[in-house]
């Protein structure tokens, strides 16, 4: 295979060159770039628009990037601008982008009866965000089975509900589209006028089904498999415990915060009954976790709520999921590290387990790089776009977290703004470290260590 020196397990595998040419990280980045370009070409065609006119290349590029990176930010309305063909292209891009092109490639390899070689396993390890290559093919098979089963059931339920509003054929088509969009945390909708799910703010069927899809899609496939196979909290891996506990805390805390902050806001919760207030608060605490759907007007939220949503979007979903952000496990690791430092403990501990220092350093690095990236993009857009700072900050974080929520800036972006946001969605989907590894030189192992000296901090 032409591999250079290096181990195939752990994060160091990213620096192994495949066939003397590309690392797994570089292959992954290149694969997403090719997928986006193919999607852009297809969406630019006259057959993809409802008017029969070609879609502007930049708008097609933005839409393809948003679909592949399962974000949901759109510069043209998906339901009215694109034809059935264009919508199906977007749906396919969402599915491939959410599962990862290597997972979909595994599906075709299995259908054709081909073997999965070491090269593909390394790339799959990177794509699925696994620590080792062991079991990646088995995990990919589980990912495909779980995805199609969940999306299929949800499509039938949503289709039955939406058929009452749009007729049988259109209702089930809408059910399929929104099931795939929700499970992949994409946030694309076909309801028109950029209104997302605002018409269904108090509809229990739509809210429950979409909520379940978003949460399952955001947990990460390894967590879902762990839950399904072990079905016992004590037997769950540390990763699963951190993801589940962090997710639950964020959902509950977010729901309570949104309810309290927006209870009397005439632009959001005030006109709703108490039950609808609860469901709307729940949905708005969940959807910033990279989902992108909304049941109330995001632009009408109070500044405090908007800032809370920004924090949630930055945290995002969980590793190995269809979502973006720095990830729940990263956030949980940081909180545990801070708590350990406050208590004067040398080790970072969670659920009676000690976290390796390299994991803590990695969490710090991801957070620092992500923060710097969001700050840089926000500064650039503050210069080029005619919008308030909070609006720009919100848009940038939404793109980086591959969320798709917007305060209305997306459709007003300049050409430069569209390109910058597209790059932000791309970096957010793949992860800043993956992109960094892809462009970095091969890591050199240190042959000596410098003398240690302390400095004053804080």
Contact between 330 and 340 (Cβ < 8 Å): no
Query: Are the C-beta atoms of 258 and 306 separated by less than 8 Å?
Result: no
- Asked if residue 4 is part of any domain, the answer here is no
Answer yes or no: is 440 within a domain.
no
7 contacts 13 by C-beta, under 8 angstroms: yes
Whole-angstrom Cα distance, residue 151 to residue 175? 10
Instruction: Give a yes or no: residue 163 inside a domain.
Output: yes
Give the predicted TM-score (pTM) of the model.
Answer: 0.84
- Range in 126-135, 160-169, 311-320 the model is least confident about: 126-135
Q: Confirm if 262 and 305 have CB atoms less than 8 A apart.
A: yes
Let me know: does 123 contact 101? Beta carbons within 8 Å.
Answer: no
Cα–Cα distance measured from residue 207 to residue 184, given in angstroms and rounded to the nearest whole number: 16
Between 445 and 378, the higher pLDDT residue = 378
H or E element, residue 348: strand 348-350
Residues 6+ apart with CB under 8 A from 303: 390
451 domain residue, yes or no? no
Q: Is 443 left (phi over 0), alpha (psi -120 to 50) or beta?
A: beta
CA-based nearest residue to 223, from 193, 208, 245, 253: 245
H helix or E strand, kind and range, residue 214: helix 204-219
Could you tell me if residue 457 is inside a domain? no
Structurally, how many domains does the chain consist of? 1
Exposure of 137 by Cβ count < 10 A (0-12 exposed, 13-18 middle, 19+ buried)?
middle
449 occurs within a structural domain: no
417 is a domain residue? yes
pLDDT in tens, 347-405: 898 898 999 988 898 899 889 999 999 999 999 999 999 999 999 999 999 999 999 89
Residue 29 banded pLDDT, cuts 50, 70, 90: confident
pLDDT at position 256:
96
Q: Is residue 224 part of a domain?
A: yes
Which secondary structure element, helix H or strand E, spans residue 354, and what is its range? strand 353-355
**Low-confidence winner among 8-17, 170-179, 285-294 (lowest mean pLDDT):** 8-17
Phi, psi for 82 (deg, rounded to 5) = -95, 145
Give me the mean pLDDT over the 437-458 stretch: 64
H-state helical runs in 3-135: 24-44, 57-68, 78-81, 84-99, 101-112, 118-127
Give the containing element (helix H, strand E) for 85. helix 84-99
Residues linked to residue 355 through DSSP beta bridges, in sequence order: 348
Residue 444: count of CB within 10 angstroms of its CB: 7
Residue-range definition of the domain harbouring residue 170 = 11-435
Cβ atoms of residues 193 and 329 within 8 Å: no
**Is 107's pLDDT higher than 80?**
no
Each residue of 38-86: pLDDT tens digit? 999 999 999 999 999 999 999 999 999 999 998 889 999 999 999 999 9
pLDDT at 225: 82
């Amino acid at each position: 295979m032409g591999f250079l020196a290096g181990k195939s397990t752990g994060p160091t595998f990213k620096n192994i060159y495949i066939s003397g040419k590309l690392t797994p990280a570089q292959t992954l980045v290149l694969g997403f770039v090719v997928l986006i370009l193919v999607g852009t070409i297809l969406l630019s065609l006259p057959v993809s628009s409802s008017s029969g006119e070609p879609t502007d290349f930049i708008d097609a590029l933005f839409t393809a990037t948003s679909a592949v990176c399962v974000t949901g930010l759109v510069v043209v309305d998906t339901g009215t601008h694109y034809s059935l063909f264009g919508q199906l292209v977007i749906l396919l891009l969402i599915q491939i982008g959410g599962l990862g092109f290597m997972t979909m490639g595994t599906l075709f390899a299995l259908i054709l009866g081909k073997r999965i070689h070491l090269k593909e396993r390394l790339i799959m390890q990177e794509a699925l965000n696994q620590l080792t290559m062991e079991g990646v093919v088995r995990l990919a098979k589980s990912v495909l089975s779980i995805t199609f089963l969940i999306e299929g059931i949800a499509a039938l339920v949503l289709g039955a509900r939406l058929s009452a509003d749009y007729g049988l054929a259109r209702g089930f088509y809408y059910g399929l589209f929104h099931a795939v969009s929700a499970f992949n945390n994409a946030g694309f909708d076909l309801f028109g006028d950029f209104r997302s799910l605002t018409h269904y703010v108090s509809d229990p069927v739509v809210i429950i089904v979409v909520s379940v899809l978003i949460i399952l899609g955001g947990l990460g496939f390894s967590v879902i498999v762990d839950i399904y196979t072990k079905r016992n909290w004590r037997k769950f891996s540390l990763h699963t415990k951190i993801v589940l506990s962090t997710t639950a805390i964020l959902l509950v805390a977010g729901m309570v915060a949104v309810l309290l902050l927006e209870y009397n806001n005439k632009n959001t919760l005030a006109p709703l009954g108490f039950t609808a207030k609860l469901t709307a608060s729940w949905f708005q605490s969940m959807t910033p976790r990279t989902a992108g759907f909304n049941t109330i007007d995001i632009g009408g939220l109070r500044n405090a709520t908007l800032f809370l949503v920004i924090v949630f979007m930055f945290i995002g979903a969980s590793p190995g999921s269809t979502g973006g952000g720095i990830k729940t496990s990263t956030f949980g690791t940081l909180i545990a590290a801070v708590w350990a430092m406050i208590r004067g403990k040398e080790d970072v501990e969670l659920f009676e387990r000690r976290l390796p220092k390299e994991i803590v350093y990695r969490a710090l690095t991801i957070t620092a790089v992500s923060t710097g990236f969001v700050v840089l993009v926000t500064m650039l857009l503050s210069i080029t776009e005619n919008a308030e700072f909070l609006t720009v900050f919100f848009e940038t974080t939404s793109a980086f977290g591959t969320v798709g929520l917007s305060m209305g800036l997306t459709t007003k972006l300049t050409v430069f703004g569209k390109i910058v946001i597209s790059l932000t969605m791309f970096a957010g989907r793949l992860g800043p470290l993956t992109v960094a590894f892809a462009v970095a030189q091969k890591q050199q192992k240190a042959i000596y260590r410098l003398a240690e000296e302390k400095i004053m901090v804080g």
